[in-house]
Copies of this chain bind each other. A is one copy, B any other.
Amino acid sequence: MRGRSLRLGRGGEFDRLRAIFAALGAAGRDLGDDCALLSVGGRTLAISIDLSLEGVHFRTDWLALREIGWRATAAALSDLAAEGATPLGVLVSLGVPGNPKGLPDGRRQRRAGNASPAVQIMAGVGAAARSVGASVLGGDLVRSPRYLVDVCVLGVAQRPVRRSGARPGDGLWVTGRLGGAGLALAALRAGRGRRGGRLAPASRRRFARPVPRIAAGRWLARRGARAMIDISDGLAGDAGHLAAASGVGVAIELERVPCWPGVTPFAAVRSGEEYELLVAMPRRFGPADAKAFGRATGLPLTRIGACIAGRGVRVTYDGRPITPPPGFDHFRAR
């Protein structure tokens, strides 16, 4: 088995990505999947790479360096979760601003303890990896004008779940509650997230220390998930990716969307970088199964709609169509 992955760029970059893969002689339905798949020794390896740049994906005045490392790693691990894979390890390339300002030399660093920026970021990387049983296998470290953290994750999938397996009639389910990351982002943008600000700790944590839904992804894969994607572009946008890859339509009932406290369903479906899972389950999967999921993972699993014949995403609120469907304003720190 060999499947390719390429992260869908932000905004209207799909054409560009298709051109790139066309130039490489690669194409096909798996183009935009969460992970690449590679058969090694009779097992299926799931691999993904995820680049986080200062000024694009994070700001150093919003997050501690340790949180920057955690967040970049959790985002990459979320791709393994969406594949139903079990993480093995991570490799990390780090760009860190150089001396004289950013980076203590060896001697100064020993005096200051393990306080160098690279060490702080890697402590977050290591903590995120350990939280899902993975280890840090290797890395590269380069001086760079701005911080950058590029994380490559490797896992094994017994039954990999692609984006492309949904069929009309499948139920559409989502883990957790949506909107917390967007709430935190809005507060940070408004300057309310810093020390002494009005950002609730739980919301801040949701943004700064997202939890990759590894156990949830594995549980859903074992229970016959047909298609799965992690919510990084917002529920509405990612539902569109799943629908396109599967060649189906998706109908979302907005009033069913599980929302973070204080967030409306309209905001919840636009909130990106939530790192919850959107999954198409066979029709027979029902409320009792969702309860079993809750007992196994401690998370709610909510049916928010269904896969239907056709294409695209249709959103209703109490039966009335919402046109156009709520989209996603992607986080741009700049």
Contacts and interface: CB of A to CB of B under 8 A. Distances in A.
Interface of A: 2, 4-7, 9, 12-17, 19-20, 22-26, 35-36, 38, 40-43, 45, 47-51, 53, 55-57, 88-89, 91-95, 103, 105-107, 109-110, 114, 116, 118-119, 122-123, 125-126, 135-146, 148, 150, 152, 154, 156
Contacts of A4: 136-138
A138 B6 contact: yes
Contact of A16 (B19, B106, B136): B106
B20 A150 contact: no
A147 to B, nearest CB: 12
B135 A2 contact: yes
Contacts of A12: 105-106
Given A12-B105, A20-B118, A23-B114, A139 B49 contact: yes
Contacts of A93: 49-51, 93, 150
Contacts of A24: 122-123, 125-126, 136
A105 B15 CA distance: 8
B40 A45 contact: yes
A49 B148 CA distance: 14
Nearest to A43: B41
A23 to B, nearest CB: 5
B51 A122 contact: no
B148 A109 contact: no
A228 B53 CA distance: 34
21 contacts: A5-B91, A7-B141, A12-B105, A12-B106, A20-B122, A23-B119, A23-B123, A24-B125, A35-B138, A40-B41, A40-B88, A40-B156, A45-B154, A47-B91, A47-B137, A49-B138, A50-B93, A51-B140, A53-B144, A55-B145, A56-B143
B118 A16 contact: yes
Given A23-B119, A41-B40, A41-B42, A106 B49 contact: no
Most buried by B among A42, A92, A137: A137
Given A106-B13, A141-B7, A89 B38 contact: yes
Nearest to A125: B24
B138 A36 contact: yes
A27 to B, nearest CB: 12
Contact of A152 (B38, B109, B152): B152
Contacts of A154: 38, 45, 47
Contacts of A88: 38, 40
Given A106-B14, A110-B15, A150 B42 contact: no
